[in-house]
Amino acid sequence: MSDDTGPGVLTIGDGEFLRDGRPHRIVSGALHYFRVHEEQWADRIARLVALGVNTLDTYVAWNAHERTEGDVDFTGRSDLGRFLDLAADAGLDIVVRPGPYICAEWNNGGLPAWLTHRVQQPRSTEAAYLEATERWFDRLLPIVAERQATRGGRVVAVQVENEYGSYGDEAAFLRWNVDALRSRGIDTLLFTADGPTDLMLDGGTIDGVMAAATLGSRAAEAERLLRARRAGEPFFVAEFWCGWFDHRGERHHRRTPDSAAAELDAILERGSVSMYMAHGGTNFGLDAGANFDVVVQPTVTSYDYDAPIGEDGTTGEKFAAMREVILRHRGIEAPPLPPAPRFVAPQRVALRRLGGLDRLHRSAVVDDVRPRSFESLGLDAGLVRYTATTVLPEGATPLVIEGLRDRATVRIDGAMIETVERGDGAPVELTVHGEGRAVTLELLVRHLGRINYGGRLGESKGVGIVCVERRRVLGWRHEVVRLDTLEHDEAEVPPSDGAPGADGTPGAFEATVELDERADAWLGVEGAVEAFVWVNGFALGRLWAEGPQVTLYVPAPVLRPGANTVRVLDLEGAPVAVTLGPDADLGEVDFYGVEDVG
């Protein structure tokens, strides 16, 4: 095998990878910069090195860089260049997966909401989609190109789109992506990645570009199929799912160390691999995606993924089992493992009430005849309060809400009626009671995560049509609340009204936590029903009463010695206290088998 301690160009020989002309096996781990606090990048990369890999791979999340059209950010947690340099400094080769669609259980599959709102068919040769992608690639790809192995850097391969064969079959679109990469200086090895079935490979592969597989099991079957279809190409599993992600209301998925290690061994017997995920990280703020299967399935904030390197950087049995396999196949000694993370001492602090939901800061107030979508209001993620005046006939009458994409709390004249959620596409209908007079109808609609996989990718958020029986309600006020930007602007938090303690109604709450040192923590919210959490202005994420996640990871750089401010916005409950401590609680565990992961 090749000496991979320095830069080297990756090519393809007769059914195998070559690195500077010598046989080479890629042993990679996925680690996403946008899911890790930037002050912890070096630590997580060091733990990846300790796992024994020779390569790091990362997606690029477009919407983490350009949440607002034209406002492109490559600073802080979006400083891709710095992240790639840290990986190179650690002696790792790098695989970059720039999408622009990435799936990844990430909001909208990485595509900006402003883009998918505009186009009719994302991930196609529709002109508007390609024009926006070109502008994005013009900003992104120079960062990647100048770090390629062909120019003395460590980027050895770049992926074309992502699992396109499970979405579409427009070969011209894939070819356009190849040309877009090549014309912007990407001259390193290109590959596609798809599930190892004829259906997906038919749609997702093109001549002249190596085909890789994504899978969780049955590597031998995948190898036979790939080698039969793609003679002369190496067998490369671009995603080996050694764990899995969690949806709201499900159990926390775990894969046993023995199962993950055995399948990793089977892959490395046959070729190259990237472990997805080697370190999962966190869907901070409102960046978690969602799936749809009859009902919407929001992904939780934690992206621990049961990876060998835990969300908080800890390592355990799975790390040891997978490391043993890697070291044996690579024939190397175990690299040193960095010291274990330090955690804060356990404590519980009571919450005090700041104000009700009516105290939320509005980033915009817009009046229109019909209800408007989040996107048309310039909102990627957050809340919109829709209000209108309408006459309710005397007695019981149906209120019909069409086009509800997520979750809404319905109030009439301030009184709570019901919280409803989208189903299989049918209108939501509930019974309300009127007195033959005008009332104020309110719908507080919140974002549950944009669909990141399948044909519903790019769906708009908000509501479409609201009717009292068959009569449309017209004349709406939209109050926009940008919870996703709260980490940048603490003015988003409702000001205190001086009320001590919770009064049993939903709203905003605050606690001050005193710490002796800066260390990692896991934060819980006692009594949370549907809660968003910020620490020192940093948006951690959200918790639901139905779980599975019970505690949120707080990176040490977010905390400080002395006073730390925790704020909680609960749309349905009145939490009473926050807890901080060293122990993660990601919910009741469901150990799944190889038959569940493809």
| Residue 127 parent element (H or E) | helix 127-145
Q: Please, which residues have CB within 8 angstroms of residue 438's CB and are 6 or more apart in sequence?
A: 389, 390, 391
Token pair for residue 1?
A: 């095998």
Please report the pLDDT score of residue 496 as a whole number: 40
So where are the chain's domains? 10-330, 347-353+486-581, 364-481
Sequence letter at residue 56: L
Sheet holding 507-515, edge to edge: 352-355, 507-515, 562-570, 530-535, 538-544
**461 contacts 422 by C-beta, under 8 angstroms:** no
pLDDT band at 32 (very low <50, low <70, confident <90, very high): very high
Please report the pLDDT score of residue 3 as a whole number: 64
Residue 498 has pLDDT above 60, yes or no: no
Mean pLDDT of 328-343: 97
Tens digits of per-residue pLDDT, 132-150?
999 999 999 999 999 999 9
**363 contacts 481 by C-beta, under 8 angstroms:** yes
From residue 240, give the alpha-carbon distance in Å to each of 105, 200, 218: 15, 17, 11
Give strand ranges (E) for 461-544.
465-468, 471-472, 476-481, 507-515, 521-526, 530-535, 538-544
Gap between the Cα atoms of 99 and 97, Å rounded: 6
**579 contacts 347 by C-beta, under 8 angstroms:** yes
Q: Please state, for a pLDDT cut of 70, what percent of the chain lies above it.
A: 95
Beta bridge partners of 383: 446, 481
Tens digits of per-residue pLDDT, 166-212?
999 999 999 999 999 999 999 999 999 999 999 999 999 999 999 99
Tens digits of per-residue pLDDT, 213-223?
999 999 999 99
**262 contacts 297 by C-beta, under 8 angstroms:** no
Sheet holding 428-434, edge to edge: 428-434, 395-402, 465-468, 471-472
Q: Does domain 364-481 have CATH number 2.60.120.260?
A: yes
End-to-end Cα distance, the chain: 30
pLDDT band at 486 (very low <50, low <70, confident <90, very high): very low
Please report the pLDDT score of residue 426 as a whole number: 80
**573 contacts 190 by C-beta, under 8 angstroms:** no
| Other CB atoms within 10 A of residue 424 CB | 9
pLDDT band at 484 (very low <50, low <70, confident <90, very high): low
363/55: higher pLDDT: 55
- Residue 514 appears among annotated catalytic residues: no
Gap between the Cα atoms of 206 and 261, Å rounded: 32
Verify cis geometry, omega within 30 degrees of 0, for the bond prior to 112: no
pLDDT band at 69 (very low <50, low <70, confident <90, very high): very high
Sequence letter at residue 93: D
Beta bridge partners of 193: 212
Q: Helix/strand/coil (H, E, C) string of 403-469?
A: CCCCEEEEEECCEEEEEEECCCCCCEEEEEEECCEEEEEEEEEECCCCECCCCCCCCCCCCCEEEEC
Verify cis geometry, omega within 30 degrees of 0, for the bond prior to 210: no
Burial of 467 (0-12, 13-18, 19+ CB in 10 A): middle
Please report the pLDDT score of residue 435 as a whole number: 97
Beta bridge partners of 71: 68
Residue 499 has pLDDT above 70, yes or no: no
Q: How high does pLDDT run on average in the chain?
A: 94
Nearest to 261 by CA among 182, 162, 329: 329
**72 contacts 317 by C-beta, under 8 angstroms:** no
Residue 423 has pLDDT above 90, yes or no: no
Please report the pLDDT score of residue 240 as a whole number: 98
Q: At what angle do helices 80-89 and 41-51 cross, to 10 degrees?
A: 40
Report the SS3 class of residue 362.
coil
Residue 375 has pLDDT above 80, yes or no: yes
550/593: higher pLDDT: 550
Gap between the Cα atoms of 319 and 326, Å rounded: 10
Please report the pLDDT score of residue 422 as a whole number: 82
**303 contacts 35 by C-beta, under 8 angstroms:** yes
Token pair for residue 95?
A: 């695989």
From residue 566, give the alpha-carbon distance in Å to each of 62, 138, 499, 528, 580: 29, 40, 17, 14, 11
From residue 194, give the alpha-carbon distance in Å to each of 31, 58, 94, 362: 19, 16, 20, 43
If phi > 0 it is left, if psi is from -120 to 50 it is alpha, else beta; for residue 541 that is: left
**189 contacts 211 by C-beta, under 8 angstroms:** no
Mean pLDDT of 297-316: 98
Residue 543 has pLDDT above 80, yes or no: yes
Report the SS3 class of residue 50.
helix
Map tokens 């609960």 to a residue.
570
Residue 487 has pLDDT above 90, yes or no: no
Please report the pLDDT score of residue 14 as a whole number: 93
Mean pLDDT of 255-270: 98
Q: Of these residues, 105, 239, 442, 479, which one is catalytic? A: 239
Nearest to 278 by CA among 33, 55, 29: 29
Gap between the Cα atoms of 301 and 472, Å rounded: 37
Q: Does domain 347-353+486-581 have CATH number 3.40.640.10?
A: no
Q: Which fold has domain 10-330?
A: TIM Barrel (3.20.20)
Mean pLDDT of 578-593: 93
From residue 151, give the alpha-carbon distance in Å to each of 146, 292, 451: 7, 43, 38
pLDDT band at 502 (very low <50, low <70, confident <90, very high): very low
DSSP symbol at 235: P
Please report the pLDDT score of residue 359 as a whole number: 78
Q: 10-330 with 364-481: one CATH topology?
A: no
- Residue 239 appears among annotated catalytic residues: yes
pLDDT band at 597 (very low <50, low <70, confident <90, very high): low
**242 contacts 254 by C-beta, under 8 angstroms:** no
Please report the pLDDT score of residue 7 as a whole number: 82
Q: Of these residues, 66, 105, 161, 163, which one is catalytic? A: 163
Q: Please state, for a pLDDT cut of 90, what percent of the chain lies above it.
A: 90
Angle at 304 between CA 302 and CA 308, to 5 degrees: 175
**200 contacts 454 by C-beta, under 8 angstroms:** no
**264 contacts 272 by C-beta, under 8 angstroms:** no
